[in-house]
Amino acid sequence: GAGVSQSPSNKVTEKGKDVELRCDPISGHTALYWYRQSLGQGLEFLIYFQGNSAPDKSGLPSDRFSAERTGGSVSTLTIQRTQQEDSAVYLCASGDGGPQDTQYFGPGTRLTVL
């Protein structure tokens, strides 16, 4: 079946602009995760959605970052007033949730802030 999809694949923006990144999880997966990966680094957890529960936003680096998940499916990560340090690959993953969850990743969105 279809995997996790993300759009756009690449986004170049100017400092100070807002950007929206989209994630379509695998159908039926209740858990959705956003991560950020800087060049040559591991993944940095940003936010976690599980079903209808309140999201875990503990990884969001600043109040310029927000995310929502509509109808328990598609999610949008919004970065307001982008800064150059926001440049990274933003990865979305989905899974069944729970302590032994395997996460299935999308191809990522490469964000470049000029």
CB of residue 15 to other proteins, shortest distance in Å: 26
Q: How far apart are CA 7 and CA 20, in angstroms?
A: 9
Residue 41 buriedness (CB in 10 A; 0-12 / 13-18 / 19+): exposed
Q: How far apart are CA 3 and CA 104, in angstroms?
A: 8
Q: Which residue lies nearer to other proteins by CB, 80 or 110?
A: 110
Q: How far apart are CA 105 and CA 112, in angstroms?
A: 20
Q: Which residue lies nearer to other proteins by CB, 72 or 80?
A: 72
Site residues (CB under 8 A) for other proteins?
Answer: 31, 33, 35, 40-45, 48, 50, 56, 91, 93, 97-108
Q: Which residue lies nearer to other proteins by CB, 19 or 46?
A: 46
CB of residue 30 to other proteins, shortest distance in Å: 11
